[in-house]
Chains A and B, each alone.
Chain A
Amino acid sequence: MDGIATGSIYAAVALALVLIFRSTGIVNFAQGEMAMFSTFVAWALYEAGVPLGLAVLSTLVLSFVAGMAIERALIRHFEGGEPLTLVIVTLGMFILLNGLAGWIWGFENRGFPSLFSDDAVTVGGVRLSVESLGIVAVLLAVVGLLFLLFQRTKIGLAMRAAALNPESSALLGVRVGTMLMLGWGLAAALGALAGVLVAPRLFLDVNLMGSVLIYAFAAAALGGFDSALGAVVGGWVIGVSENLAGTYVDFIGADLKILVPLGIIFVVLLVRPAGLFGTREVARA
């Protein structure tokens, strides 16, 4: 169960990655650092006396706005150009945000309060922590909301269209730039959510999202980079397998724990290059 909870966090970040990939066509290497930065903001608000729930909510909103701003001010300039340039830009953002957070808040780690209580409940003979249940519940709620957004609302439809065919969308009056901004804003908010959910377990410091990001990549790749469902399933698989491997397989131990998900992706991608749920054209060499 713990694995599914961790997996849910990976899934959240993976969803953010998939969102940006589907709308902008690139992988945002700075997704984790953006989330880390947001988590720090939440922490700062909480330390200033704002109740935790409100702090988190405000952070989500702020992250949304920041994500939109980043797309408009920075990413927009590079759209349509060489994709590798944009990759380097996101790497630059990674380094910049990491340094900025360290400069503002220092490089030591600190605790972060959990949104959920410390208790555990017993279901069917298995002890589950409220926190784990809470995380999974939040993720499912988020996935549900996203589904409704994209499948049932006009704006969600427009966002999908803008990602599929920007030119045709423009001919229908869709402001493609705005859709991209929304995509980035959503992704940033998702990342922030993942950050505040994972921080209580890992201690908040500038490297909070480092390994989470890797696992999220693995999850997204496993699920297929253009599939939201894949991101969720991928996240769970990775979370659970990481947990099981670390606990039960002695040979591997803590150091090599990270190899298990990596190994899984490698094998899956060999057999199904587009990931479990991805569409064929994305990955065939």
Chain B
Amino acid sequence: MTRPRVRIAVICALAALAVAIPFMFGPYRVGQFTLVLVYAVVALGLNLLVGYNGQISLGHGAFFALGAYSAALLIEKADVPHLLAVPAAGAVCFAAGYLFGIPALRLRGLYLALVTLGLAIAFPQLIKRFDGLTEGTQGLTVIQPVAPSWLGLADDQFLYLLVLAFAALMFLGAWNLVRGQLGRAVTAVRDAEIPAATLGVDLGATKTRVFAVSAAYAGVAGALYVFAIGFVAPEAFTLTLSFGFLAAIVVGGLATISGAIFGALFIEFVPVYASDVNDALTGVIYGGVLIAFMWFLPEGAAGLFQRVRGLMDRHRDRRAWASEEKDLTPEGGAA
């Protein structure tokens, strides 16, 4: 089989698996997988910013929270239908990201990281402060989407599939972006700013746009989070969450689309398993696993797969060359 065909087959298999999940597990597990999808969407957006564009953000928890609260307020206080709340949350975060990005992105690396860190810290405090609107620390309960009776699905299953649908859309969007003009401009900026600028890529605008897009992704994910959990409170949006998102993309693999899933699985399940093993040692195990992961797999899980694929390609090429002396082009192309 040629490489593109293998890839499509794998994606179809994974998609089938993804759809099957709500029918394979009980409600608690399904809820966890729903959260995995939510985190994967954030990771996707963050990866666009960090992996592809070479910027850094320690504060995407804030945009996640902004999206969640926007959706929550729209649904609970403005009677906006659930489905509309998702793109609305995304739009709000796009705007916020853009506005934040304009000044912030003039800073480089470390200082940008600090400013985004500040954002992550500040936002929960702001939520608490304006408790007239947000109900502050009490939190806001939100009606979750209910499965229509004609589908014959349980609520948790329906929620999962709904989130899956949105997540799939976001993945498609990301894939498209990366391949399209914005994606190329974005990668060019990461790899070499000065040449990119001379080729006409508007650095400032590209960076801000990417930041806004990644914020929008976090916003959409926030809205989906509200669907999944049905409750928002400032305590849910800790610094640890922002750090977790960053860890997710590095663990999953920078500048890869598939990495978002690995990363999301990691940050959802590893802490749970760690506390299963020994509740008191949760932090030790989680932290230890994180470090070990970086030690052995610095390119992330996706990097491992690429390496394996590379090995398989080379093996197959060697066999092709050996057995087919007349045909000079190896099947499927070189790695």
Contact = CB atoms under 8 A, between A and B. Distances in A.
Q: Would A and B touch once assembled, by the CB under 8 A criterion?
A: yes
Interface of A: 21, 27, 29, 74, 77-78, 81-82, 84-85, 87-89, 91-100, 102-103, 214, 217-218, 221, 225, 253, 255-256, 258-259, 262, 265-266, 269-270, 273, 275, 282-285
B287 A92 contact: yes
Contacts of A284: 108
Contacts of B295: 77-78
Interface of B: 50, 56, 103, 105-115, 117-118, 121-122, 125-126, 128-129, 240, 243, 246-247, 250-251, 254, 280-291, 294-295, 298
A221 B240 CA distance: 21
Given A96-B291, A259-B126, 5 more contacts: A256-B129, A262-B122, A270-B106, A273-B107, A275-B111
B163 to A, nearest CB: 27
A99 B298 CA distance: 23
Contacts of A97: 287
Given A85-B250, A98-B283, A269 B125 contact: no
B254 A84 contact: yes
Contacts of A262: 118, 121-122
Nearest to A77: B295
30 contacts: A27-B113, A77-B295, A78-B298, A81-B298, A82-B254, A87-B246, A92-B288, A92-B294, A95-B240, A96-B286, A96-B287, A99-B281, A99-B287, A100-B283, A103-B280, A103-B281, A103-B283, A103-B284, A217-B117, A225-B111, A255-B128, A255-B129, A256-B126, A256-B129, A258-B122, A259-B125, A265-B114, A273-B108, A273-B111, A285-B108
Taking chain A's interface residues, is the majority helix, strand, or loop, or is none over half, making it mixed?
Answer: helix
B61 to A, nearest CB: 13
Given A88-B251, A96-B287, A82 B106 contact: no
Nearest to A252: B129
Nearest to A220: B114
